[in-house]
Amino acid sequence: MNFCPNCGTKANGGAFCTQCGTALNQPTVVADEVNIFPDTKVFPDTIQTPVYTALPVAPTPMYTALPLTAVGTPGVGLVAGAAQNKADTVKGSAGPATCLVKKGDKHQLRLKFAPNLKSGESVPALLGGVHDGMAIGRQYLEEKRYEEWRYTESALGPGAGVQLKLERGEFLKLQDSDLVLDVSFWKMTEGTPVNFVGGTGERTYQRGGKEGRSWVVNNDGTISPKNYSGLVLGAAVPIKATELAGCWNCCCFPCGSAVMKISAESDDVYQECGLFFWFFVIPLPYGKKRVRKSAKQFVNSADAGDVSVFENPNKFWFPPGVAGCGGRC
């Protein structure tokens, strides 16, 4: 309570004493600190910079060398998973053979023992990935001939497979035969068959040109033709005759050209009819029935030498000896 400092009269809250008129001291009112910008938040002078912790990066899965346990007679070079004898590598023609496919294709093959193969070991051609449980084998036991060359067609199937060894750093040779993996007629395109071929002596290891017998073992288990890294060994999944239905044209140099229509009877049989222009001038109507010979080959039912080889459902070519190819109209 305040009193006048001069006369002692009780102050009534006024600025001057009511008795003597002496000026009275007023209490100092300190206003609360008011934020004149109520919607503005006040931040500290120093903002803490968040620290990010690097997360571990999972390594890209890759095949690693696996132990190869010898079985049978060590001198023979057999390993676990390899065929005990040559006959065990025969898979027949019912399953797919091997061919070139684009790298990354769902039908590309990965060798389970690729690192061992790359290091020079003799390994069974067992497959990994989506083809686990399958192996590369041969369609039949004997060796056939084409001119000077001996050959056996490849095949895929369950169980044991052929045994391969990387010779001279580039040739994939069969352990039980003087045959090496070979791109058919060295045609470096998707869909070309890959088989086992051999010559006389050093002719087996022929090089030069497109080098259709030279291979590179990749770190992911695939194998590519040398200088063609965009292609790898794959499964020759059968092309269905129903996929080929429609109009086609072709050229058979120097005999002439043709336009034709394919009508499928089933997945393995189709009728072919059209006009063949003899020497590109004289029209000759024709018709024939073709049946499946292999995954991508259809043969004339009346002429075993008349074969059409389909790279894909939009392109075909004829075997060597007939210079020709065709496509959809």
Instruction: Render pLDDT for 3-26 as a digit per residue (tens, 0 to 9).
Output: 777 777 777 777 777 777 777 665
Question: Would you state the structure tokens that stand for residue 279, as one six-digit string?
Answer: 């020497």
pLDDT tens per residue, range 219-254: 999 999 999 999 999 998 888 999 999 999 998 877
Max distance between CA atoms of the chain, in angstroms, equals: 144
User: Does position 173 have pLDDT exceeding 70, yes or no?
Assistant: yes
What whole-number distance in Å separates Cα of residue 71 and Cα of residue 317? 45
Contact predicate 219/213, CB 8 Å: no
User: 29 vs 26, 36, 201, CA distance in Å?
Assistant: 9, 19, 114
Q: What amino acid is encoded at 278 in this protein? A: W
Q: What percent of the chain has pLDDT over 70?
A: 79
pLDDT bracket for residue 49 (50, 70, 90): low
Contact predicate 198/149, CB 8 Å: yes
Task: Write down the domain spans for the chain.
Answer: 74-236, 241-328
User: Does position 45 have pLDDT exceeding 90, yes or no?
Assistant: no
SS3 at position 205 = helix
pLDDT tens per residue, range 53-109: 544 544 433 444 454 433 333 333 445 556 678 888 999 887 789 999 999 998 999
- Average pLDDT of the chain to the nearest whole number: 82
CATH class of the domain comprising 241-328: mainly beta
Contact predicate 326/251, CB 8 Å: yes
Question: Best-predicted range by mean pLDDT among 67-76, 188-197, 258-267?
Answer: 258-267
User: 17 vs 21, 26, 27, CA distance in Å?
Assistant: 5, 12, 15
What whole-number distance in Å separates Cα of residue 103 and Cα of residue 117? 20
Whole-prediction pTM: 0.59
